[in-house]
Every structure is written in C-alpha cells, then in structure tokens.
Structure 1
Amino acid sequence: MSSEQKKMGLTRVLARGVFRFRITLLVVMAAITLALGFSASQLRVDAGFMKMIPLSHEYMGTFLDYQGEFVGANRIMVSLRNEDGTVFDKEFLASLKQATESVFYLDGVERSSVTSMFTPNVRYSEVVEEGFVGGNLIEADYSGTEAELREIRERTLKSSWVGQIVANDLRSAMVVATLQEVNPDTGEKIDLQAVANKLEDIRSELESESLEVNIIGFSKAMGDIANGARGVLVFFAVAVVIIAVLLYWYTRSKRLTLLTLVTASLPVVWLLGLLPLLGLSLDPMSILVPFLIFAIAVSHAVQMCNSWKLDVLAGADIRTAAEDSLTDLVVPSVVALAANVLGFLVIAFVDIQMVHELAITATLGVGVMILTNSLVLPPLLSFTRMDQHALDRLTGKGSHYWFWEKLSILATTPKAWVPIVCALALTGYGIYQADQMHVGDLGDGVPELRDDARYNQDVRAVTSQYSVGVDVLQVVVEADGDNMPCVQPELMQQLEEFELFLRQQPGVASVGALPGFVKGVTQNYAETNPKWHVVPGNRAQVAQGVAFATRDGSTLMNTACDAMAISVFLSDHKAETISGIVTAIKAFKSVYDNDTLTYRLASGNVGVMAATNEAVTAANPWVNGALFASVTLLCLAMFRSLRISLCIILPLALVTLLCNAFMSLLGIGLKVNTLPVIALGVGSGIDYGIYLFERMKHELDARDCSIQEAFFEALKQRGTASAFTALTMTVSVATWYFSDLKFQADMGILLAFMFLVNLFGAILLLPAIAAVLFRDRSFAKQPEEPGFVAESESKRTSIAQEGFPRSGVYSGN
C-alpha cells in the first residue's frame, strides 16, 4: 500500500468518525463557543511598559538596576501655555498649581519625582555681596499678589529652569513626573490606559481659549495607541462586509456565504475567550491578530465549502459531499496551517515579552482554527442545502480557462526565462533598495501614531518651546570606592572629558551631567567669574558643588554618589541618530573603562529604543533563517524533493526581499511592529506554491503529460481559488491603511503587498523555475495503487466535463 493510500485511509477513518458523532460534536462545540464567548468579555487591553522592552538586554539591566534611583524612562510631561501672556500671571499659575496637584495624585506617580514651579525641588540661587541667596521659585505661602508675581519672575530668570520646565519664551511651564510600573500603595500593576485617560481629564479641565495643554510621555502615548487600536473593530466590520460580498460573488450562495462567515468567526471567539483563561491580554500590537485570524479562517472555510459545492454539483448527496471534502482537505489544511504556525512562532526570537505574547496569541488562533475547520464546518455542511438559484446558475455552465491557458506557457523552457530574468532583475533592485532599510524609527514623534495625531502635535509643541528634548539617553557611570567617591577631583575630571565628548557628537542637543553642575557652582562661588567655570582641583570644593546637586534629588547621582547619571538629550530619535551616539559611547567606553570608572549603557527612553533596535537587529537573521529553514523542511517532508522545495522557496525569498525594499521605499523601519510581517507573509504565502505544485506533481505522476499541461491543470483546479483567497486577504488587511494608528496602516500595507505578490510569485515564477529544473519531467514520482488514482481521476474528469474545476485540496491562503 502506498503512502498516499495510507494517508487516504487514515483521513477517511477520521472523517467517518466525525460524521458518526456530528450532532454531538456540534452541540459540544456550541457549548464551548458560548463559554469562551463569555470569557472573552473579561479580556483586557494591556500596554505595560515592561512588556515592550527587551528585559534581558544589557542596556535594560542598567535601566532596571537604577530605575529606583534615577529618573526613569516612563516620564509624564504636562505643559501649559498661556496664549494671552506669560507664565507670570495669577490665573495661569493657578492652573499650573492645579495641574501639579492633579499629576501628584495620579496612581503610580513617584511623588518625589514631581517637578514644577510649585514643587520644593525647583529652586533658584544667586550670588550676592554677603554670599549666596536661594529658595523655592514659588514660596508655600504664595497668594498671587502683583509683588509676588514680579518676585517669581526675577527668581525664575536667575534660575537654571528656563528652557527646562519654563519655556524659553516664558509663555509655557510644565509639570514633570516619573511613573512607576507597580503602584506602591496597592502592589498592583499600573493601568497605563487609566493613567492616560486621567491625563486627558486634566487636559479637558484646564484647557480653554487662553490656555493650551500639551501632554506627552510613554503612558499617554500608549493610551492614545490603545484608543486608536479599539478602532480596529470598525475595520473588522468593514472587512466582514467586503468579504461577504466577495464570498457571495464566488459561491453564488447566501447560505454558503453565511456559513463561511460564521465558521470563520469561531476561532476568533475561541481565541479571545482563551486569552483571559491563560492569564494573557491583548496589547495594541496584538489586537490585530484576531482580525488576521478571521481572514485566514475565511480562506480555509472557502476551500471546504468550494469542495463540498463541487461534489454536490457532481451528483453527490450533501452528507457524502461533506464527508468527502473533509477526507480530501484535512491533511493539506493542517499542513497549510502548520506553515502559518511556523510563521507565527519564529517571531518569538525577538526577546520582548509583547512579541512573545503576539506569537502565543497567533498560534492559539491557528490551533483552534484546525478544530473549527475540521469538526464544525463539515458537519454543518452536511445539513446545508445549496440555494436553488445557485444551482440553476452553476449547473451546465461551462468554464473558460483561456487566461490560465495563456499563462501556462511560462512552464515551457523558452518562455520560462522571461519571468526568471525579470526575477533576477528584481533581486538586484531588491538588494540595492533593501540595503537602505534602517532598523528603528525614521521620523519624529511617536511613529505608531500618524504625524497629525494630537500626541505628535504635543511633542512638536514641547520640543519647540523648551530647550530640553523629549528624547533622553542616560549613561550611568559607576565609581569604585567608599565614602562618596564622586567627590574625587580626578574622577570628576574624567567625567568632564566624557561630557565634553558627548556634546561634540552629531544629533546631541544638550547634556546634563554632574561635572557641568559642579563647574557652575564653582563659578558662582567666584562671583560668577567665567575663569572659574572649571572642575576644582581639590576634594573640598568638588564636595561643595556636589552638595548643591543633592538639592535636585537623584537627577545627577544616587545617594551614595557612587553612580552618576549622564543625560544626553538628542535632537530626535531616528535610527541613525541613536545608532550614531551609541556607537560613539561604546568607542569611548572601550578606551576609558577602568577599575575606577565603568560606563554603562543605557537608561532613558532613548536607551529603551536603542536596546529594542539592537534586539530586533539581532533577531532578524534568526527569524528569517528559522522561518525559511522550517518551511523548507516542511516542503521536503511533503514532496521529498529538493528541486520541488526550491521551486516553492525561491519565489518566497524574492517576495521577502522585495518586501524589505518596499519598506525602504515607504520609509518604514524594521521594528518590533514590522518584523513579524515578513514571517506572517511567508507563513501564509507558502500555501499558494505548495498546493499548485502538489497538483502539478499529481498530474505528472498520474498521466503522461508535459510540465505545461500539468501546470495548466493545476491552474484550472486551484488557480481561481488561490486568486480568490489572495484577493480576500489582501482586501481585508488593506482596510488597515485607514487606521488612526500608523503602525497598523504600515502592517496592513506590507501584509497586503506580501499576500498579493506571493500569489504572483506562485503563478508566474514557480512554473518557470520548475520548467528549468525539471527538463526531464522527473518529479520524484511516488507509486500509487491504481484503484485510488482511477477513483480520484474519474471523479475529477466527471466534474471537469461539467465545466467545474475540482478544488479538492486547499489552495492556500
């Protein structure tokens, strides 16, 4: 008995078992669906800060070690702008005080980090005849008199806070605070969405015609992203309508259209219900996965319904047709879904929890799809009758395959070189263009949001009004020794060299460090003589400057003064800016790291970006390598031929290269959001090649025909279905382009590109490669028992005579 007959026997036994208990199965599946539907109502959208960073990266080790001592990467900035005057206005300061109190009492805010003109950590100092005079910018007993306002103005101008929390034009002032990951009062994880909503409440309470409020920070960005992600429901509904129209056009049956949509919705409901039971949640990135699962499920359901329909048209009763369809499709469907699973799993190489959860979520969705497609849809089909008008329209209607006949000439040796030469030219262009693709963000603001989003407008407003940028890279310098090692003059001078080195780097807007602060204090003690703007040569004078620095809290150093934070404010967070400064710091570190001083990268929001970019760069070759190795093994296991595997894999490799070039052309960087796209596209796109080639191989094994004839038969039986599923998935994901979130729009464009171009690769390039590699027509023919071949061939022939292409095996998604 051949391997094909053994496989056929097993699937027939499985199909008979399913239909023997079909009513019981449907009842059980309905009960599970109801239970998981209720569980899905408990699902949360979670955008935790720690989920989005590569915690095992070296930089994040520094971040975690010092997140409790220095200002963290998760900061909030609330800026108020007086449209009718300056900040030295009674009404404006009343609003600023209200904003300060509101931010102070936000859940998860580290109280000691709150900084504004009203907080005691914002002070001024000046040199007078008697020595130094200093104090708070705004005293605790402030009442808003004209004299007090004039005094506040004088103190502000004498301080170093202009450009930091007071705008350069003196018309804006801000409140700055650091948000913790866990609420210290309750021990629970901070709900970033709730924080973002409360920040928006602060804006609505304060903003007026004369007062503009700008709010930026990680939590606010995540809140805006989560709110935009909820809009995916609208695109889901639009896609369902579009798919329903396409399905009806394809099936000519309202019943099959409705059945396909209902069955495709089941894995989505099951997935959303399983996530809370497993302690998982959706984040703004993985919220698109259910949408993608639905599109894939539709394409699988279409194949099953199409197979059943053609059997019914050939004269089979509805139950037999449903059982035969399950028998024919269960193995190739599982193989196709295995390719999808591989595409989802390999992205787990990116060492970020959010990406791991994305891989788990998508794998769960595909896993339950196997059950719903095999155990729910075929039994339901056995109770379904074809619409009479659909039968009348399809019965006796011949099919015309002139387009497929014309296309089949690509499987002949002379004509095959046309697509191959075109592919080689595209390969050269793809290599050139893909070489210009960058890792990380390529624009200003938050790239996940559109350029005209309110948050990005707020970013531009804050960066234009203040001297301190929102993109901060912190380098922690650890000093060895006891008893305040930072007060040693030699150590402070080495830090001064590092600070000067940083200021000279491209993309650096400013640097905040302890040496510069100590130099300023020393100059003030010398009656502001510029000659004394130096690091003192003795320990006592350095200690004098460090003592003043302690009044600013832990901004510049920790309590023991054995770790100093060097804050590098960048002009932007573009990929080349970050990589340039990080490379420069690493070069400095390689020379000047010693037993006394150790330079550690990196904290701050740019430190997180740098770690994420490096994690993506490191994972990218592993993701692509593992992906193509796994799908190649899948092809080898199925066809047991290296040449056949090459025919399928080479078009996929070209499409992947062109996707990278496409990203470069569109200005889309390789990031956590876009890296999974290639894996998903390859995992889904391989189906086209597998099922077209499977039919070609079968035709060549079953009868004496040329490669062109075999490809023509494959196109007749599978080409239309493949084209329909490609169109369905392309249209579904293309609707994401209209999302409020730019990263969703980017993912939609890239996935649509890969789904569609993968189809072109399968029907244009695959036969050409086959014609060149298989000039001897040797397709590693597998012996089959005559009975099985004769039965399947006679069934296909009878259908073909009626003008209907037999699509017995799933033809890809």
Structure 2
Amino acid sequence: MVTTGSDESMAVVSDPKDFDQKSGNLLERLIFNHRIWVVAGCIFLTLFFGFQLRGLVVGASYDKMLPHAHPYIKNFLENRGELRGLGDTFRVAVENPRGDIFDPAYLDALAKINDEIFLLPGVNRAWMKSIFTPVVRWTEVTEDGFVGGPVLPDTFNGSPQSIEQLRINIARAGVVGSLVSNDYRSSMIIVPLLGDGAEGKRVDYHALSVALDEIRAKYSKLGPDGKPLVRVHVIGFAKLVGDLIQGLGEVMYFFVAAAAVATIIIFLFTRCVRSTVLVVACSLIAVVWQLGMVSMLGRELDPFSILVPFLVFAIGVSHGAQKMNGIMHDVGRGTHKWVAARYTYRRLFFAGMTALLADAVGFAVLTVIDIPVIRELALTASLGVGVLIFTNLILLPVLLSYVGVSKKAALRALAQDQDEARGKGMGRIWTVLERFTEKRWAIGAVVLAVILGGVGYVGGMKLKVGDLDAGAPELRPNSRYNLDNAFITSHYGISSDELAVMVKTPAGKCGTFENLTEADRLAWTLAQVPGVQRTTSLADTIRSYTMGSFDGNPKWMTISESQSLIDPQVNNAVAWNSEYLNGDCTLLPVIAYLSDHKAETLDRVIQAASDFAARHDTSERKFLLAAGNAGVDAATNIVVNEANHTMLLYVYGAVILLCAITFRNWRAVVVAVLPLALTSLLAEAVMAALGIGVKVATLPVVALGVGIGVDYALYLLSVQLAQQRLGLSLSQAYKKALGFTGKVVGLVGVTLAAGVVTWAWSPIKFQADMGIMLTFMFLWNMVGALVLIPALSWFLLRGVRQRQTTAVVQLDGLGGQ
C-alpha cells in the first residue's frame, strides 16, 4: 500500500494561498510549514560534519582482516606470541643487477638497507631475518663438537677474506633458496611486524609503505654505467595495503569522473541547471555527513570500503532524480513550486523511505560476517544510507520548493510526456515496454528470465572463494607489487605463502620422541599435497643436530628413539633461538611453504592437515590449525564461503519484509523480488566468468547490488499499484508508472552505469573489477525492473482493483494524457 494518509486529489495549484497548509500528514506539515528550520538545521549539520572530516584518515589493520571467531584464528591469536614471524610479515629482496651478492658495493648497500628497515616503526626486530641479522646462524660439526655463529662474520669488514668467509657461512647455514636466491644474485630480508596494540599503537601501513618506497628510491639510483646500484623488491600485506592507499589519489579521479558523468546525463535529461545541481549537491552532502560520522566514531576509511561513499552518492542520485522529476512535472502543469514539492513528497516519500530502509538493512546484515573490516564497511554504508532519508527525501524537496525548476525545462518535460504518450521519441521505448503487460510478451519475458536464471545458476557454480591468481589480485598483473612477487617466486626455492600447523604439548614435552615423530609424519603428509613446495619443523633440526653429534655420519640423520640423545639437541635448539619451538617447549610449528595462496591450494592443504589432526590428536598432543599468512587466508576463505549465502538470505529476507510492509500484497512482493534474484544469479556467473573470486574485498558487492536494485522496483511498482487501485487496467497503470517513475529508473540506471564503467581503466584492479560488476548490476536491475515487473504483474497482479478503504496516491495529469 502506498499512501500518505490523504485521498485529496493533487490538482493544479498555482497560488500557494489556495493550498490548504493543514493538508497532508503530520511529518509533511512539520517539514514544509517550517522549511527555514529544516534548511538551517541541515546547513548546521553539514558544517558540523564537514568540520569532523579533518580527523578522517584512510588506514588498515591486519587484525581487522581476521575472522576472530573462527577456530583457526583463535588458535593463531592464542599462540601468536610464541610464533616467530608467522603473522603479519613483509619481505624485501635486494637484487644486485651487476653481479652476485658477494660484491662489496652490494653488501654495503644491503647492510644499510637492513639497518634502515630494522629501525622502522612496527618492526618486530627480535625476529627480523637476513644474512646480516644475528638470529640467522650456521652450525658445523668439528672434532670438538658443534661450533657455529651468525652468518655474518663478527670480523666482517668488506675485505675479500671476510666476503669469502660470508660465502662459506651461507653454505653452512643452508639459507640458499630462502634468504639467498638460487642464483646468488639477490638476498632476502624477512620482516615480521608487531601485532595491533604492541608498543602501544598500531602499525601505520601507509607510513611504512612510504618509508619502504623511500628506501627503494634511495638505493636504486643509477650508477655511472646506467644500471641501478641495487633493485629492491617488496611484498607482504603491509606493502599491498600501502600501495592501495597510495593509489587512492588516482582512484578519486575516477570517482570524480563518475560523478561528473552522472551530472552531465541528468542535466541533458532535465535541461535544468538548478535542479541538477541540487540533486548532485544533496547526494554529496549525504557523503559529507556519512564520512563525518565515521570520523566522529573514531573509525577509519579502509581501502576495501572506499567504494561505499560513491555507492551512497549513487543511491542519493537515484532518489534525488525521482524527486526532481516529480516536481518538474507538476511545475510544468502550472503548480506552484512549493505545492509541487509537497505533492512529490506525498507520492514518493514512503516508497523512497522504504527503499532506503531496505538498503540500510541490506548493508547492516553484512555484520553477520565475522570479519571486522566488513562489519565496519556495513556500519559506514548503513550510516550513509540512513542520512539519505534526510538529505534526499526531505532536504532536496524543501530546497526545490524554494528554487523550483526552470519553467522552460518543466514545459519541455511536459511536452515530452505528451509526445511520449502519442508514441513519439522515448515513447517508442515505452510502447515496447507496455507490451510486456500482454500475455504473449509476458510469457516470453518470464521464460527468458527462467532460462537466464538457469544459466546464472550453472555459471555461479563455478564461482570460487578466495584468490584465483598468484600475487595480489587487488592490483594489476603489471603493478610493481605483482612484478616484485613474480621476481621473488621465480628466484627463491620457497615462497612467502606459509601455512603452519601448531603442535601443542605439555610443558617441556615438545621434544619427546613421540611428538617429534608425529610432527615429522605431518610434515611428510603435507609435503605430498600438490602445491606444497617444502615442509619443515623441529624434527628436521633434531635430525641434523643428531647427525652432527656423530661426526656427520649420514646414518644418524634420524630422530633417535633414545630420549637421552634427543634432549641435548632440543636444548641446543632452545639455546640458539630456533624458530621451530618456543621457550618452554610447549609448541612446535610444522610449516608448509605453498606454491601460491589460491583457493584450491589452500583447500587441499587444509583438508590434509585436518584429516591428519583428526586421526592423531591425543589428550596430550593437539594439532592446531592454522598460522602463517596462508593459514589466515584459509580461515578467511572458510568464513567468506559460509557467510556468502547466509548474507544473501538475510538481505533478501529484509527486502521481502519491507516490500510486504509497503505493498501489503504477497504477489507484489514476489514481483518486486524476483528480478533482484535474477540479478544476483547472473552477477555470480559474471564474477566466475571474469575470474573474480569471492573474498573480503568483493563479498559485499552482490549484497549492495540487491540494495540498489530494490529502489527501482519500489518506485515503479508503487505507482503502478496506486493507479490500478484507482481503477486503471494493468496496461494503463504501467503506462502511467513508466511516464512518471519508469523513465527516471531508466535514466538512473544508465547514468550510474555510465559513471562506474570508467573504473574499468583504474590502475587498481579491485576497483576495475567492481566497476564492471556495478555497471552490470545497475543496468540489469534497470532492465529487470522495466521488463520483468510488467511481465510478472500479468501473472500475479492483473486482479488488483480499486479499494474504497485504501487511501491512494493520485497522479492526475502525469505520465501521459
């Protein structure tokens, strides 16, 4: 039911004195009889929230990307302090383009780079590793027993003798393929970062990324021969987020371009500068309020939620265009601008508010996903949609009641309506769309929709969760980050994708024969899984130390059954700060180095580890999944996969409930929701076809498409039902709806699609992918509303008739004659 509580005919009123100011509901009277206070209040709030923007920052947090309630992440966080370098870590590969790493000039540059990185804020200095850090050691068996020391000789001074000693120590330490490239032309610095809250503050990824770029630029200067002194390659979550934040400057140009395109198209439609400016201005005011609230709440704007302000702008333009169109029609008929604003408010406020509530609830249900960054996105989006109720449903009609619209533009719009009613101009399109209220066309449209739904369902089955490509899919394949990742992957024997299974034991028991053997069996099991490059654990260290204790005899390259032979080796590992056990010997990680972090690779490794844990867990020995960046990715993929359909279920539940409240007709609810469901099916198929995986960055997009799409259905169907209840036939009612709100549905769909399609050329691949997805959803939601609503109405809503007990919205003189 679409009603404002009045059955007054909206006749032409050219003089506001002839208008009954006491008409309309209480809220309408409060707004339009006290317009100056509404405008003053909105000006004050805009200035207030604009002032809050000074504290708005763009940032990110590693911990916010973690699904904290998932068992894997709980295990990781509980043991985080004991896991050395298996959390938030970035890697720096320093390459010598002139030769190998044993060049004095290269080693001098490496030492300086190592020292500068060591001093960066947020670095966990105790476990930073490179051939120049003391935690990287070599060991050797001599007649006197074990000897060893740091890989970098204590007497290193850059002389040929000390460089030769460094070469020997690197070979002894067995770091080729991990800290030294296979071709000896580069070496690695592995830099673990402190967790959130460590040292009293969180790591500033943007500042860290900028500092790394400065180091890169400083030491990559060209030498006399035209070659750089060194080449620096950096990968890791910190650098990825830093690059995304740095790229936001370019991203903002695309947002501005999208807003400009929307403004131009709306102006070409209306030919009215003042109303176009007000529609865009009110939508921008909503964004200011939204971001001001985010800043007041002490939240950051995350790189993965940077699309939200534009979506709020897009939704605002959609609703604002409907209000502007309604007022323009009334003014063209001779109605005073103040009265026209009230008429439009009566016709569209309830439908608009219901649509915005559906949007807000749709965004809010994203909070069911146990990932803080998505929950913050949901809060940000819900706030933005909430303020649109004030800026675009209330403020915009009030402002238009003051400034009105161009009389010339209004008359032109009215003449266009009359031409369209006679089948001229855009009327040719409306004539075609009206045919979908006929039996044959309606059946054809529904059959085609069913076929497309089947295609979408089958295509969506190929949709994958997680990353589908190596490197960072958020960035272009030719981005510096992905080129750096390709370099490191191709020149080192083990990748940066680590998955650790934590073997938990009682105090002092991690080094027992049984526990070492079980850890070794797990490592062997994981090594057989396709996609695993190599595995390592304390068992490997104990084997090596045991062999060394027996003059290096390879027959002793084993885990002895005698605990008296194992214990000294465990003590040596503790003394030499091995990363494969903790201080009280209660935890030993089994680390698998993966070839990539694609969803299929993670699934195989997780399945193998889970099966092993299920068979080998005992009361005193637990195999806990999972740590390492790949372990975090695996847990995130599981949560995203589980939340994907749950989220859509909640979104559609909210939309159905609000549509039921609006229409009070279950058939109308079905008509409104089915086109949205088709869009969701097809959107998943498109994501699969484009190779876009479902992950933290992309998960909300389909839900956002549903929220925006319901606006079209509510505006179009509400007018159609109102006209049917006035006694018009389905075909006549739909014709009226097309002339009033339908043309704006088409306008908004095309406008928003034309704006976001420019994102396809963004340097940030994530934004480009989302631009393509949003373009598809904007257009398909528009087509679905204009084609499927009349077709489904033929099946379900032909019987709607005038109801004497229902107060209805009248559109006399609108949408054709």
TM-score bracket relative to the smaller structure: over 0.9
1:325-474 map, 5 Å: 325-387=344-406, 389-391=408-410, 393-394=412-413, 396-397=415-416, 398-400=418-420, 401-474=427-500
CA distance in 2, matches of 1:372, 1:100: 53
Match of residue 516 from structure 1: 540
Q: 1:6: how far off? A: 5.4
* 1:800 and 2:813 are equivalent in the alignment: no
1:556 aligns to what SS in structure 2? Answer: coil
CA distance in 2, matches of 1:11, 1:64: 58
Q: 1:394: how far off? A: 4.4
* 1:714 and 2:737 are equivalent in the alignment: yes
Amino acid at match of 1:23: I
Farther-moved stretch of structure 1 (638-647 vs 9-18)? 9-18
CA distance in 2, matches of 1:552, 1:757: 63
Match of 1:739 among 753, 758, 762: 762
Match of residue 57 from structure 2: 44
Farther-moved stretch of structure 1 (258-267 vs 9-18)? 9-18
1:80 aligns to what SS in structure 2? Answer: strand
CA distance in 1, matches of 2:481, 2:50: 35
Over 3 Å counting, the alpha-carbon distance change for 1:768 and 1:42 in structure 2 is same
Match of residue 794 from structure 2: 771
Match of residue 75 from structure 1: 89
Contact residue 5 and residue 784 of structure 1 kept, 8 A: no
CA distance in 2, matches of 1:182, 1:616: 23
Amino acid at match of 1:758: N
CA deviations 1:90-121 (Å, max 9, x no partner) are 11111111111111111111111111112111
CA distance in 1, matches of 2:346, 2:583: 71
Over 3 Å counting, the alpha-carbon distance change for 1:764 and 1:345 in structure 2 is same
Match of residue 759 from structure 1: 782
1:355-754 map, 5 Å: 355-387=374-406, 389-391=408-410, 393-394=412-413, 396-397=415-416, 398-400=418-420, 401-480=427-506, 482=507, 484-550=508-574, 553-705=577-729, 707-754=730-777
Contact residue 129 and residue 136 of structure 2 kept, 8 A: yes
Match of residue 809 from structure 1: none
Over 3 Å counting, the alpha-carbon distance change for 1:402 and 1:386 in structure 2 is same
CA distance in 1, matches of 2:460, 2:664: 33
Contact residue 3 and residue 350 of structure 2 kept, 8 A: no
Structure-1-length-normalised TM-score: 0.93
CA distance in 2, matches of 1:595, 1:780: 71
* 1:284 and 2:307 are equivalent in the alignment: no
Match of 2:325 among 282, 306, 311: 306
Q: 1:492: how far off? A: 1.4
Q: 1:382: how far off? A: 2.1
Match of 2:26 among 6, 9, 13: 13
Amino acid at match of 1:553: N
CA distance in 2, matches of 1:545, 1:86: 35
CA distance in 1, matches of 2:252, 2:728: 52
CA RMSD in angstroms, aligned pairs only: 2.1
Contact residue 251 and residue 764 of structure 2 kept, 8 A: no
CA distance in 2, matches of 1:749, 1:252: 29
* 1:164 and 2:178 are equivalent in the alignment: yes
Over 3 Å counting, the alpha-carbon distance change for 1:503 and 1:780 in structure 2 is farther
1:382 aligns to what SS in structure 2? Answer: helix
CA distance in 1, matches of 2:82, 2:251: 39
CA distance in 2, matches of 1:649, 1:669: 25
2:82 aligns to what SS in structure 1? Answer: coil
Unaligned runs of 5+ in 2: 9-21, 222-227, 421-426
Structure-2-length-normalised TM-score: 0.93
CA distance in 2, matches of 1:177, 1:31: 48
CA deviations 1:693-719 (Å, max 9, x no partner) are 2222222221252x3333233223222
CA distance in 2, matches of 1:792, 1:435: 46
Contact residue 522 and residue 534 of structure 1 kept, 8 A: yes
Match of residue 15 from structure 2: none
CA distance in 1, matches of 2:4, 2:103: 85
Match of residue 13 from structure 2: none
CA distance in 2, matches of 1:252, 1:198: 50
1:91-170 map, 5 Å: 91-170=105-184
Q: Identity of counterpart residues, as a percentage?
A: 35
CA distance in 2, matches of 1:116, 1:378: 65
CA distance in 2, matches of 1:95, 1:224: 24
Contact residue 292 and residue 733 of structure 1 kept, 8 A: no
Amino acid at match of 2:771: G
Contact residue 353 and residue 393 of structure 2 kept, 8 A: no
Match of residue 60 from structure 1: 73
Contact residue 347 and residue 623 of structure 1 kept, 8 A: yes
2:731 aligns to what SS in structure 1? Answer: helix
Q: 1:656: how far off? A: 0.6
Amino acid at match of 1:5: G
* 1:88 and 2:102 are equivalent in the alignment: yes
Amino acid at match of 1:711: Y
Amino acid at match of 2:325: N
CA deviations 1:336-365 (Å, max 9, x no partner) are 111211221111111111111101101111
Match of residue 243 from structure 1: 262
Over 3 Å counting, the alpha-carbon distance change for 1:547 and 1:160 in structure 2 is farther
Amino acid at match of 1:44: V
CA distance in 2, matches of 1:796, 1:238: 37
Match of 1:275 among 294, 305, 318: 294
Q: 1:130: how far off? A: 4.5
CA distance in 2, matches of 1:608, 1:468: 18
CA distance in 1, matches of 2:801, 2:544: 81
Contact residue 267 and residue 369 of structure 1 kept, 8 A: yes
Q: 1:753: how far off? A: 1.0
CA deviations 1:444-497 (Å, max 9, x no partner) are 1012111111111111111111112110111100113x4x21222122112211
Contact residue 23 and residue 29 of structure 2 kept, 8 A: no
Contact residue 365 and residue 647 of structure 2 kept, 8 A: yes
Q: 1:551: how far off? A: 5.1
Q: 1:781: how far off? A: 5.2
CA distance in 2, matches of 1:390, 1:6: 30
- Paired residue total: 790
Over 3 Å counting, the alpha-carbon distance change for 1:780 and 1:471 in structure 2 is farther
CA distance in 1, matches of 2:143, 2:801: 98
1:126 aligns to what SS in structure 2? Answer: strand
Q: 1:10: how far off? A: 8.5
CA distance in 2, matches of 1:220, 1:7: 62
Farther-moved stretch of structure 1 (188-197 vs 540-549)? 540-549
Match of residue 803 from structure 2: 782
2:301 aligns to what SS in structure 1? Answer: coil
1:457 aligns to what SS in structure 2? Answer: helix
Amino acid at match of 1:287: I
1:475 aligns to what SS in structure 2? Answer: strand
